[in-house]
Amino acid sequence: MKNHLFSGDSGFNTQNNKESPFPQIEIKSATEVVYRELLKAILNGKFERGSLLRQGELAESFGVSRTPLREALMRLASMGLVHIESNRGFRVASLDFGNMQHAWRSRIFIESGAARLAAKNADDRSLEKMRLSVQRQYEVTHDLQESLIVNRDFHLALVAASGNPYLVKFAEMLWSFDLAAPIFGPQASGPKELTSWADEHLEILNAVISGNEQLSEELTRKHISNYPPQASVQKSIK
């Protein structure tokens, strides 16, 4: 049994932080802006899978030179979301819907088992990583890209809390962005849906903290099982 428990009425903030009376100033580089917009377009299915990204047109559309555009594309390539082709540039990664289903089914077994182990083995540092991920989820429900990242962070932190490095390696492979992004995007219908996922993550976190192995496993299995790859993804990648 862990010695503390987070819940909606025990000091854990499930709402956005109180707004500052002063406007928040956020300065982003051209590369960061382009990267975020391209990632959003990929998540939303704006770019057809396997389509060539024409750098000249994109640079003109964003009002930037090719340098920040290429830097943004290289960043997306490192995530597996676009592929680099010799003498042709960048192409949106093609997908195999069957592989996405295999990854999802694998996650059900790996993460639910890891959750059971986490309820037994998690230390305070692991729990804090999970807690911070959930808190961040509540804060970024308006941001699809950031929501994907923190959602992934929670699941990987849950597996890491199991204390089994082999499960962590499997989970990282299954949570590669080229698999996660096309599944996550169509499912994230808006802030309401993203908030409900954070609520479910909080339930899992509380079960792990309480040391309830069976409940941790059951909640995790149910959470993942409820969100299979959608048929709309299959249609978009044919």
Domain ranges of the chain: 30-92, 97-236
**What is the C-alpha end-to-end distance of the chain, expressed in Å?**
49
Please name the amino acid found at residue 89. Answer: G
Residue closest to 122 by CA, chosen among 152, 155, 164:
164
Query: The pTM is what?
Result: 0.70
Q: How many residues does the chain have?
A: 238
Report helix angle 213-225 to 191-209, nearest 10.
Answer: 160
Instruction: Reduce the DSSP state of residue 179 to 3 states and report it.
Output: helix
Q: Look at residue 28 in the predicted model and tell me its pLDDT.
A: 66
Same topology, domains 30-92 and 97-236? Answer is no
CB atoms under 10 Å from CB of 53, counted, come to 19
Contact by Cβ (8 Å): 211, 119: yes
Helix (H, G, I), strand (E, B) or coil at 82: strand
pLDDT of residue 232: 54
* 97 or 213, which is more confident: 213
**What phi and psi values does residue 90 have, to the nearest 5 degrees?**
-120, 140
- The Cα 199–Cα 114 span in angstroms is 19
Window from 12-21, 31-40, 146-155, 227-236 with minimum mean pLDDT: 12-21
Q: Token digits for 126?
A: 């692991």
pLDDT band at 79 (very low <50, low <70, confident <90, very high): confident
Q: Which CATH number fits domain 97-236: 3.30.365.10, 1.10.3720.10, 3.20.20.70, 1.20.120.530?
A: 1.20.120.530
In the predicted structure, residue 234 carries a pLDDT above the cut 80: no
CATH topology of domain 30-92: Arc Repressor Mutant, subunit A (1.10.10)
Cα–Cα dist 185/10, whole Å? 32
pLDDT at 73: 93
Give me the percent of the chain exceeding a pLDDT of 70: 84
pLDDT in tens, 13-55: 444 444 544 444 344 688 988 988 888 888 777 888 788 898 8
Distance CA(70)–CA(109), nearest Å, equals: 38
Contact present, 139 and 196 (Cβ < 8 Å): no
